[in-house]
Amino acid sequence: MRDHVKNAAVSLLVGATLVAGVIALAPGWGEDPPPAPGPAGRAMAAAGAGAPAAPADLAALIEDRERWLKDHPRDEESWAVLGTAYVQRGVRLAQSAQFPKAERALKKSLDVVPADEGNVEAMAGMAALANARRDFAGARGWGERAVKRKPKRWTTYPLLIEAYSGLGDYKAAGKAVDRMLELNSGPQARGVAALVYRDRGWREDAAATAHDAAANAEGPEQKAAALHRMGEFAWERGEPAEAIAHYDAALRARSDHHASLAGRARALAALGRTDEALRDYGAAQKGRPLPAYALEAGELYQSLGLDGDARLQYERLRDGVAEAAKHGVDSTLLLGRYEADHGSAEAAVRRLQAQWDKGRRSVDMADALAWALHRAGRSQQALEFARKATDKGRRSALFSYHRGEIERSLGRYGAARRHLEEAVRTNPDFSPMWAPKAREALEAIGEPPEGGPRELERPAGTPAPTPSPSGAASASPSGAASASPSGAASTATPAPRSPSPSPSPTASGSPAGS
């Protein structure tokens, strides 16, 4: 699941950029002298530079606008600032209860000056709120309306980029990046561009752009965000030691940068420093209790055979998802991934398929749906979605592993070997649970015969092996069969290597050890 925590980082970056654009006008302060340099003043200064504000400064700004609006209830710009600030605080601290407050404030702004009359600040705030709730179609609608009104307002473009990416419209995301960089090429804008380049598979461009953003970042908040991004890119390249160096630098800039704590945890786990990894996961969840962090920590515990601790993490994930749902947050993608591996694969298919049918067609959704279908015993259908996930540009070890296992279950051993090798080559330790299984699957398939591939695919007319359902028994890291923490049993270990020159291992419907 490591590749998918990046979604939280994207939201944090874009949310900070959006607040910058909305509050740069300093509504309300036009009638009075500028505030003395203090927390609220620092938040405004950071916003004007397109940088994220420190949590304490953001809280001061919220308090200031709340106080101002008691006496100036018709100040639509202050309502927009307040609503957008609530969104940023909700995203940064994983406090979904901030989102209904944000919606009320933004709607009050629109009541005073409707969108059709040009209330761009409130429209952009609504786009930010929709992205935070994973309503990417709604975010696209609000963002496009705001851009139409003010096409040169660069801080609206990151909102559209996040929405387009969430919907899988990468062509539109690319065009929005180009337009954004024409308007602003500062570190915040370049950070957004680096993420889009990564999704296109342009690793060198992504790394160079991320480096430029970090080199030009100003202030501890902006530096921490930029250095964290570089850590994520190093991690995805399979360089955990380099990733830790970037995360450490981010934490020196901001000791409470929780995304960097979680990033360092997964890199430490890859290096076998599991005690330190679990420490960092605990610290990250204490300050920013994202359900995604609970899933990662749970799978690390499970890989260590600590099933009781894993169950506690999975309960924390379910509780977090349920709480977020009360405040309008759609956690289908994360919940689908959890259910596919640790609960009901059929339930995961239903959830994910419904979102796909509604137009949410990112590569992340395609990969999650492919894996859920495979775990539910529908590998032939799964392969169609696995191809969509891996053929779009982003180089993801997890995506490659999923496709390789799906192909192995269908007897497509040549293709399976290619994608499993790609997974371990891209990031040898992409997951404490699944990276070992990728290597076991490669061992089971074996090397191609001398003289070129022969009979690596299932002979024509031979029925496909029946994939094991997600409830089949599996081997734990110690080699003993065990059930998943949620009560669903795991799948069988890969078949041993065949001594024949043309290997024909027994295909499994899902990876071992899940």
For 144, the token pair is 């496009």
Domain boundary among 112, 145, 171: 171
- pLDDT for residue 447: 83
In this predicted structure, the answer to whether residue 45 has a pLDDT above a threshold of 90 is no
C-alpha distance from residue 342 to each of 5, 16, 80, 111, 470 (Å): 18, 34, 41, 46, 9
Contact present, 286 and 279 (Cβ < 8 Å):
no
More confident residue, 310 or 39: 310
Higher local confidence (pLDDT), 358 or 474: 358
Higher-scoring residue by pLDDT: 107, 5: 107
| In a domain? residue 425 | yes
Question: Is there a domain that residue 60 lies in?
Answer: yes
Amino acid at 288: R
What is the chain's length? Answer: 514
- State the average pLDDT over residues 459-484: 40
Show the tokens assigned to 381: 């259908």
Domain-located, residue 75:
yes
Closest CA to 162 of 325, 358, 360: 360
Tell me whether residue 248 is in a domain: no
Token output for 388: 């969509």
Q: Cα–Cα distance between 446 and 154 in angstroms, integer?
A: 53
In a domain, 20, yes or no: yes
DSSP secondary structure letter of residue 481:
E
State the pLDDT confidence band at 392, using cuts at 50, 70 and 90. confident
Rg (CA), the chain: 24
Range of the domain at 419: 332-482
The whole-angstrom separation of Cα 171 and Cα 333 is 22
Residue at which a domain ends, from 136, 171, 206: 171
Higher per-residue pLDDT: 365 or 43? 365
For residue range 219-253, list pLDDT tens digits in order. Answer: 899 999 999 999 999 999 999 999 999 999 999 99
Domain boundary among 149, 171, 193: 171
- Going by C-beta distance under 8 Å and a sequence separation of 6 or more, which residues neighbour residue 129? 83, 87, 99, 102, 103, 106
CA dist list (Å): 244 to 41, 143, 262: 33, 35, 11
- 196 in any annotated domain: no
Instruction: Give the alpha-carbon dihedral of 500, 504, 506, 512, to 10 degrees.
Output: 90
For 426-459, the pLDDT digits (tens) are: 999 999 999 999 999 999 999 876 665 554 444 4
**Whole-number pLDDT of residue 12:** 40
Predicted local distance difference test score (pLDDT) of residue 55: 84
3-state class (DSSP) for residue 512: strand
The amino acid present at 512, given as its one-letter code, is A
Mean pLDDT over each residue of the chain, to the nearest integer: 84
* 243 belongs to a structural domain: no
> What is the spatial distance between Cα 44 and Cα 25, in angstroms, rounded to a whole number?
9
Per the domain annotation, does 503 fall within a domain? no
Structural domains of the chain, count: 2
| CATH code of 64's domain | 1.25.40.10
pLDDT at 236: 97
